């Protein structure tokens, strides 16, 4: 029996593939190793016993609290686990929580300063990428299990930051705004010189996305559903218009005198009943 | 922190250029991959915050299958490193405009990120020293060579320091003299300020002595820094003799307000920065 999820039934199943791609990148992709050191290579040798065995990286389970959405944590999250200080000591539960600082970031594309809650790691990443916009649009990502896979994907993915590493809604929304501003060229409208300069600087990142993908980037499941419903909404058509036109057509077929001069009114013309109430119109339509 | 990750990435790309998939090439490809991932490992390692390690590692699972369910012993972690307490690498920046104490446009500075980010990067006084930015601002610096606000980065500070001073010019009480440049130079040297004689501009009228009417009165000299900036420094005349019985003693002379030697200098002397500011006494409980 197939597993029923929100992606296989209802609005979730109808959502466009662009949104599903973003969702996969955000929630299902394995984020970069932040809280543990990743072992590299295929095989590992135990120097004492000279045993050789496969290298397998099992990531630490992370907790993403709701506060992560209001800040820029740079891939960090809460780690829940135990501390054990000695052989004859009981293990003690412990939460490793990132240090959060208040700071300001500046986005060059949006030309705005923002007061945010940020970790030192995120600030370091901003500095390493030479700016907040560069950090959002691009970041090195090396999280693949298969080494050959890595070798192939290294080039295709080097240019952009996956959503799983940005993680928080705040950064994803900002990235969405930046991408939309770049795609529509709505940056620095008052300053044409700055406009061309900044656009030339960040133009390279647009190649990773189509316009449709940008449209669906950085939305939560709920927002995406609402957007989809709004797009596919059809205003209900009153049945009386349909029946009336059918009736007139029938009367015309039978060549009844009264129906000869009456035109079939299309639903567009019948848009509002207020038109009929106009006291200054000399002749009524019907 | 890496100074030029972009350059490094290019290097990595060059390392990892795809080769033909023949068996003979496989080994060289492998070594390349290993080299490549040593770089990547470096990147990851430098950026972490709480780096933890499982005390009891998870046993190996079958190929292409899910890892084993984690037992509670797999949740006992040891802290490997906390990078928040590690010393931070300085940021390499390039100035986009004149900054007091640092320099003019195009000067490269290296500062601690906690200082550089709020003070220079956010107000856009400086930018990251990327190869493109260096080229851009070096060009800008050459264009603006002639209309620099100050001749050097420390001039502003020096001017402020000098204008707050009241130099004591100590002259003989016994031997007749006329005030000359080398007197001023020597008295500045006593206060730890070394200047060549050609930078000093003396008052227009000559001052000669010993004349006890001039004792403790003010005049000013003008000092030129780097042949460009001019500062007026107030000086106070004092008579001195080696005979201790006839030495003039003034209590707390550094606080006393005095009259000018030339009455026409009064507005200029008044306009200079105050030479003595009483500090407020703070009471500690």
Same-domain pairing of B179 and B258: yes
The verdict on residue B121 lying in a domain is yes
Minimal Cβ distance to A128: which of B5, B51, B58 = B5
Minimal Cβ distance to A82: which of B1, B13, B75 = B75
Average pLDDT over residues B148-158: 88
Same-domain pairing of B114 and B186: no
Same-domain pairing of B130 and B186: no
Inspect the interface and report whether the beta carbons of A104 and B130 lie closer than 8 Å.
Answer: no
Inspect the interface and report whether the beta carbons of B50 and A98 lie closer than 8 Å.
Answer: yes
The verdict on residue A249 lying in a domain is no
Residue A266 has pLDDT above 70, yes or no: no
Q: Which of B144, B165, B181 is the last residue of a domain?
A: B144
d(CA A202, CA A192): 16
Query: What are the two backbone dihedrals, phi and then psi, of residue A78, each rounded to the nearest 5 degrees?
Result: -90, 135
Same-domain pairing of B237 and B198: yes
Q: Which of A55-64, A261-270, B62-71, B141-150 has the lowest mean pLDDT?
A: A261-270
Residue among B6, B18, B26, B48 with most chain A CBs within 10 A, to mutate = B48
Same-domain pairing of B136 and B190: no
Inspect the interface and report whether the beta carbons of A130 and B61 lie closer than 8 Å.
Answer: no
pTM: 0.75
Q: Chain A partners of B117 at a C-beta cutoff of 8 Å?
A: 103, 123, 127
Same-domain pairing of B132 and B159: no
Locate the chain B residue with the closest alpha carbon to A152: B18
Q: Which of B121, B144, B167 is the last residue of a domain?
A: B144
Range of the domain at B111: 91-144
Same-domain pairing of B228 and B266: yes
The verdict on residue B160 lying in a domain is yes
Residue A150 has pLDDT above 50, yes or no: no
Average pLDDT over residues A38-52: 93
The domain total for chain A is 1
The verdict on residue A129 lying in a domain is yes
Same-domain pairing of B184 and B240: yes
Minimal Cβ distance to B48: which of A34, A40, A41 = A34
Same-domain pairing of B107 and B160: no
Helix (H) or strand (E) holding B139: helix B131-143
- Between A and B, how many CB-CB pairs are < 8 A? 125
Query: Per residue in B52-85, pLDDT tens?
Result: 999 999 999 998 899 999 999 999 999 998 888 8
Locate the chain A residue with the closest alpha carbon to B14: A155
What pLDDT band is residue B48 in, cutting at 50, 70 and 90?
Answer: very low
The verdict on residue A181 lying in a domain is yes
The verdict on residue A72 lying in a domain is yes
The domain total for chain B is 2
Inspect the interface and report whether the beta carbons of B130 and A128 lie closer than 8 Å.
Answer: no
Minimal Cβ distance to A130: which of B63, B76, B130 = B130
The verdict on residue B82 lying in a domain is no
Query: Per residue in A78-108, pLDDT tens?
Result: 999 999 999 999 999 999 999 999 999 999 9
Locate the chain B residue with the closest alpha carbon to A122: B47
Per DSSP, the residues of B217-284 read: -EEEEEEEETTTEEEEEEEEEEEE-S-GGG----TTTTT----BSSGGGHHHHHHSPPS--PPPPPP-
Chain A nearest CA to B9, separation (Å): 9
Q: Which residue has the higher pLDDT, B17 or B168?
A: B168
The verdict on residue B85 lying in a domain is no
Range of the domain at A26: 11-38+45-142+157-232
Q: Which of B80, B109, B144 is the last residue of a domain?
A: B144
Inspect the interface and report whether the beta carbons of B113 and A154 lie closer than 8 Å.
Answer: no
Q: What is the pLDDT of residue B145?
A: 83
Inspect the interface and report whether the beta carbons of B45 and A37 lie closer than 8 Å.
Answer: yes
Q: Chain A partners of B83 at a C-beta cutoff of 8 Å?
A: 120-121
Q: What is the pLDDT of residue A272?
A: 59
CATH of the domain at B110: 3.40.5.10
**Beta strand segments in chain B, E:** 50-54, 77-82, 91-95, 108-111, 126-128, 166-172, 177-178, 200-201, 208-209, 218-225, 229-240
The percentage of chain B sitting over the pLDDT mark of 70, rounded to a whole number, equals: 83
Q: Chain B partners of A124 at a C-beta cutoff of 8 Å?
A: 1, 47, 88, 113
Q: Which residue has the higher pLDDT, B42 or A130?
A: A130
ipTM of the complex in this document: 0.77
The verdict on residue B193 lying in a domain is yes
DSSP secondary structure letter of residue B54: E
- What would the two tokens of residue B7 be? 């350059």
The verdict on residue A1 lying in a domain is no
Q: Which of A274-278, B40-44, B273-277 has the lowest mean pLDDT?
A: B40-44
Same-domain pairing of B162 and B265: yes
d(CA A239, CA A272): 15
The verdict on residue B74 lying in a domain is no
CATH of the domain at B254: 3.10.430.100
Inspect the interface and report whether the beta carbons of B122 and A35 lie closer than 8 Å.
Answer: no
Mean pLDDT of chain B: 83
d(CA A59, CA B44): 14
Q: Are B232 and B272 in contact (CB under 8 A)?
A: yes
Q: What is the pLDDT of residue A264?
A: 66
Q: Which residue has the higher pLDDT, B44 or B53?
A: B53
Chain B nearest CA to A50, separation (Å): 17
Minimal Cβ distance to A38: which of B2, B44, B91 = B44
Q: Which of A114-128, A140-154, B86-100, B168-182 has the lowest mean pLDDT?
A: A140-154
d(CA B187, CA B246): 22
What pLDDT band is residue A278 in, cutting at 50, 70 and 90?
Answer: low
The verdict on residue A180 lying in a domain is yes
CA atoms within 13 A on the CB side of A10: 9
Residue A149 has pLDDT above 90, yes or no: no
Average pLDDT over residues B39-47: 40
The verdict on residue A138 lying in a domain is yes
Per-residue 3-state assignment (H helix, E strand, C coil) for chain A: CCCCCCCCCCHHHHCCHHHHHHHHHHHHCCCCCCCECCCCCCEEECCCCCCEEECCCCCCCEECCHHHHHEECCCCCEEEEEECCCCCCCCEEEEECCCEEEEEEEECCCCEEEEEEEEHHHHHHHHHCCCHHHHHHCCCCCCCCCHHHHHHHHHHHCCCCCHHHHCCHHHHHHHHHHHHHHHHCCCCCCCHHHHHHHHHHHHHHHHHCCHHHHHCCCCCHHHHHHHHHHHCCCCCCCHHHHHHHHHHHHHHHCCCHHHCCCCCCCCCCCCCHHHHHCCCCCCCCC
The verdict on residue B163 lying in a domain is yes
Inspect the interface and report whether the beta carbons of B52 and A81 lie closer than 8 Å.
Answer: yes
Query: Per residue in A186-220, pLDDT tens?
Result: 999 999 999 999 999 999 999 889 999 999 999 99
The verdict on residue B223 lying in a domain is yes
């Amino acid at each position: 029996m197939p597993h029923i999820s929100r992606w296989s039934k209802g609005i979730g199943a109808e959502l466009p593939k662009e949104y599903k791609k973003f969702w996969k990148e955000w929630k299902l992709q394995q984020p970069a190793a932040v809280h543990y050191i990743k072992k590299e290579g295929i095989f590992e040798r135990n120097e004492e016993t000279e045993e050789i065995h496969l290298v397998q990286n099992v990531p630490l389970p992370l907790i993403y609290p709701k506060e992560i959405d209001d800040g820029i944590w740079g891939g960090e999250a809460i780690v829940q686990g135990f501390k054990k200080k000695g052989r004859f000591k009981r293990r003690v539960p412990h939460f490793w929580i990132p240090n959060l600082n208040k700071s300001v970031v500046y986005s060059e594309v949006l030309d705005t300063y923002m007061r945010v809650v940020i970790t030192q790691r995120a600030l370091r990443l901003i500095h390493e990428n030479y700016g907040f916009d560069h950090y959002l649009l691009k970041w090195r990502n090396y999280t693949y299990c298969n080494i050959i896979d890595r070798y192939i994907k290294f080039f295709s993915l080097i240019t952009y930051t996956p959503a799983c590493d940005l993680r928080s809604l705040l950064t994803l929304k900002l990235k969405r705004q930046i991408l939309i501003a770049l795609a529509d060229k709505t940056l620095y409208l008052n300053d044409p010189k700055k406009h061309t300069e900044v656009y030339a600087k960040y133009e390279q990142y647009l190649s990773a996305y189509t316009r449709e993908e940008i449209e669906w980037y950085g939305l939560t499941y709920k927002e995406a559903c609402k957007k989809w419903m709004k797009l596919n909404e059809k205003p209900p058509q009153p049945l009386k218009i349909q029946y009336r036109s059918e009736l007139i057509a029938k009367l015309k077929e039978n060549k009844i005198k009264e129906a000869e001069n009456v035109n079939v009114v299309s639903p567009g013309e019948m848009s509002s009943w207020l038109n009929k109430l106009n006291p200054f119109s000399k002749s009524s339509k019907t | 922190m890496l100074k030029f990750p972009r350059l490094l990435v290019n290097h990595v790309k060059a390392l990892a250029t795809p080769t033909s998939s023949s068996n003979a090439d496989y080994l060289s490809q492998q070594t390349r991959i290993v080299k490549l991932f040593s770089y990547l490992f470096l990147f990851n390692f430098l950026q972490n915050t709480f780096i933890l390690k499982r005390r009891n590692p998870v046993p190996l699972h079958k190929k292409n299958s899910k890892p084993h369910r984690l037992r509670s012993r797999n949740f006992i972690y040891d802290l490997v490193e906390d990078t928040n307490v590690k010393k931070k690498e300085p940021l390499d920046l390039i100035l986009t405009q004149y900054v007091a104490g640092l320099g003019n446009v195009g000067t490269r500075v290296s500062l601690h990120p906690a200082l550089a980010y709020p003070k220079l990067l956010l107000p856009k006084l400086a930018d990251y020293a990327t190869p493109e930015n260096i080229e851009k601002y070096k060009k800008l610096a050459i264009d603006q060579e002639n209309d620099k606000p100050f001749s050097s980065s420390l001039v502003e500070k020096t001017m402020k320091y000098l204008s707050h001073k009241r130099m004591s010019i100590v002259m003989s009480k016994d031997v007749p003299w006329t005030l000359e440049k080398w007197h001023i130079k020597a008295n500045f040297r006593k206060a730890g300020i070394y200047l060549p004689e050609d930078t000093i501009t003396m008052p227009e009228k000559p001052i000669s002595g010993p004349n006890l009417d001039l004792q403790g009165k003010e005049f000013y000299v003008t000092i030129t820094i780097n042949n460009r900036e001019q500062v007026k420094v107030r000086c106070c005349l004092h008579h001195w003799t080696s005979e201790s019985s006839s030495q003039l003693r003034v209590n707390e002379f550094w606080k006393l307000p005095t009259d000018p030697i030339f009455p026409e200098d009064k507005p200029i002397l008044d306009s200079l920065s105050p030479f003595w500011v009483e500090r407020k006494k703070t009471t500690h409980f």
